[in-house]
Chain A
Amino acid sequence: MKNDCQEIREKFSGFIDNEIEPEAHRLIASHLEHCADCQAQANAQRGVKDLLASRLPMQAAPHHLRARVMNALRTQPESWSFRSLLQRLFEFQPMPAFASVALLIALTAGLALLAGKPTINQPEKRQALALVTNSQIEGVFTCVDCELLDISKTPYTHDQRHRLGVKCDDGIFWSILQTDKGSELSSLDGLMRRRIRVKGHLFPEQHLVDVTDYSVI
């Protein structure tokens, strides 16, 4: 391998992706005409790029993650930015002179608070019921009691009604709200251990689903 091959190969990606100057492009192209090794390398790299684009499995964000993030955006303490602090002060005390005094007090208090307690509880915000509308989950229609008896290898059957829900692949068990559609789904025979897709509104914190539609897969 000649020395300039090394240099050329450093730029193969730019050559393939059309990210180099026309002059450099011409240089590489003319090198490839004379160097079979580099030519093979360039083809191989192009092949790898195509392979990645067409065959790498893409994974969409799971539905519960979307719900989790939206919930976190709603419940996290509002931004700590200086600007928002100022805004809030002026809102309570619109006169600038008072505001600056209030700002000083608030800042001192804020610093003391930050030093002493790194987290501030905001129960009234946490209680907000997060809801993700028109989403869907997919999983195995499962009775939670049967599942527990099964896991613990207990050779009994429970004598109560089945407590049914959808067990997703990530292990999360979604309970079904007993609305019209939810009750209908729960009362169906022969669905146990079948894989179903449930459409509806999700309560990600409580792992509850308000079913609007369902189908067996």
Chain B
Amino acid sequence: MPESSKSAEQKRQVFEKIALPYMDAVYNTALRLTRNMLDAEDLVQDVYLRAFRFFDKFQEGTNFKAWIFKILTNTYINRYRQKVREPRQVEFEKIEYAYGDDPKTRDEKYETRFDENLYRELFEDDIRDALDKLSYEFRAVILLCDIEGFSYKEIAKIIGTPIGTVMSRLSRARQHLQKQLAEFAKREGYIKKP
């Protein structure tokens, strides 16, 4: 075997050893980003091929998971986000606080109270649906922080924003989620209107 294909083979083996254990995490996040199994599979394959192609650029000893997740979010934005399969979501910049000074929302104050017992009744599908309703910017930070357990510093690097933005996006995203979950609970009859 010529020297270069031997080293290419070695490179692939090293890559697979490091990268394949993260496939479940990459797939799960891809699935929540695309909300579609077929797209998620294509996205995962793209991510792995790209990661392999740029594997020389990965610095050994640094966080591989954060590195491959950066490729994941970039690839998603570049290739998949254009393919909008659903009505456009609310512009993320325009979303204001769910519980601002708007008097119309003041009487729904019960929603802000978080009762664990009520939420326990929610179906797992409800939680997933609530997450899927968030726009990409919010969904991404939730997935990276609450599901994958990245630090704010890592998330900032992955999505390419300052840490302060990560923090405010997360705060808002959780607030939106909580409002959505409260609505589901209300719909299912777990929370009664006062």
Contact = CB atoms under 8 A, between A and B. Distances in A.
Contacts of A84: 4, 8
A205 interface: no
Interface in A27-84: 37, 40-41, 43-49, 51-53, 55-62, 65-66, 68-70, 72-74, 76, 78-81, 83-84
Contacts of B52: 73, 76, 79
B187 to A, nearest CB: 17
19 contacts: A10-B167, A10-B168, A14-B171, A17-B170, A20-B167, A45-B171, A45-B175, A48-B178, A51-B119, A52-B142, A55-B124, A56-B127, A59-B28, A61-B27, A66-B23, A69-B23, A73-B15, A73-B16, A88-B4
Contact-residue bracket for chain A: 35 or more
A49 B131 CA distance: 12
A91 B3 CA distance: 8
Given A52-B131, A91-B3, A65 B44 contact: yes
Majority-rule SS of B interface residues: helix
B128 A56 contact: yes
B41 interface: yes
Interface in B126-185: 127-128, 131, 142, 145-147, 151-152, 163, 167-168, 170-172, 174-175, 177-178, 181
Interface of A: 1, 6, 9-14, 17, 19-20, 37, 40-41, 43-49, 51-53, 55-62, 65-66, 68-70, 72-74, 76, 78-81, 83-84, 87-88, 91, 170
B193 interface: no
Interface of B: 2-5, 8, 12, 15-16, 20, 23-24, 26-28, 31, 37, 41, 44-45, 48-49, 52-53, 56, 97, 99-101, 109, 112-114, 116, 119, 122, 124-125, 127-128, 131, 142, 145-147, 151-152, 163, 167-168, 170-172, 174-175, 177-178, 181
Contacts, number: 155
Contact of B27 (A20, A65, A74, A81): A65
A59 B31 contact: yes
Given A17-B152, A41-B112, A48-B181, 20 more contacts: A1-B100, A1-B101, A10-B167, A10-B171, A11-B167, A12-B175, A13-B145, A13-B171, A37-B109, A41-B175, A45-B175, A53-B146, A55-B124, A56-B128, A56-B147, A61-B24, A61-B28, A68-B45, A73-B15, A76-B52
